Amino acid sequence: MKQTVRASTKKVPGGLKVDTKARSFTLICDEPTDSGGTDEGMTPVEALLGSLGSCMTIAAFILAGQKSIILKDFSVDIEGDLDPDGFLGINEDVRKGFSEIRLSIQLVADGDPSEVEAFARFVESRCPVGDTLSGGVPITCQSITVRQ
């Protein structure tokens, strides 16, 4: 059944720090000082990569039960290529977002290593954040409210 997931972001006065609230939880994003921030949190693009690795990890532990895999540990190194010239408008031919994301997955699990590796690929195919990123998602701006 379709669910609606929500978050709200609010600028913290001064610098570039942004506060995200989702239910009772908070995520602080910021930029390094050489990008005009005060370096008090990970950047939004780092948080995006973290959401991908976290989603794969949680998916792995939930899906291990379905596949009768005894999963003991799961970790992911994630890296993505981004060229700020796209965002800044310095080069209109450069993509504004990530051009590629790469994963390195480490698992500790009982069982035949080839079956465990197949399980990791199954997890990758099921991960909600991975599916959103690899397939893309329509983003609709419902309202823009301007105050002075």
Report in angstroms how near the CB of residue 137 gets to its own copies at its nearest.
5
Give the shortest CB-113-to-its own copies separation in angstroms: 4
Which listed residue (33, 34, 55, 92) binds its own copies by CB under 8 A? Answer: 55
**β-strand pairing of 100-109 with 18-22:** unpaired
- DSSP assignment of 21-42, as one string? EETTEEEEE---GGGTS---SB
Task: Report CA-CA distances (Å) from 140 to 36, 53, 94, 122, 144.
Answer: 29, 26, 23, 30, 11
String marking each residue 117-136 x if it binds its own copies according to CB under 8 A:
x--xx--xxxxxxxxxxxxx
The first and second tokens of residue 38, run together, are: 């005060």
Member of 33, 34, 38, 43 binding its own copies (CB under 8 A)? 43
| Size of the residue set binding its own copies (CB under 8 A) | 108
When the beta carbons of 68 and 137 are compared against its own copies, the nearer one is 137
Q: Sketch the per residue contact string, 72 through 101, with its own copies: x for CB under 8 A, - otherwise.
A: -xxxxxxxxxxxxxxxxx-----xxxxxxx
Neighbours of 99 (CB within 10 A): 12
Residues counted in the chain: 148
Among 33, 34, 41, 64, binds its own copies (CB under 8 A): 41
107 binds its own copies (CB under 8 A): yes
Question: What is the distance, to the nearest Å, from the Cα of residue 89 to the centroid of all Cα atoms in its chain?
Answer: 24
Nearest to its own copies of 68, 140 (CB atom): 140
Termini Cα distance of the chain: 41
Check binding of 38 to its own copies (CB under 8 A): no
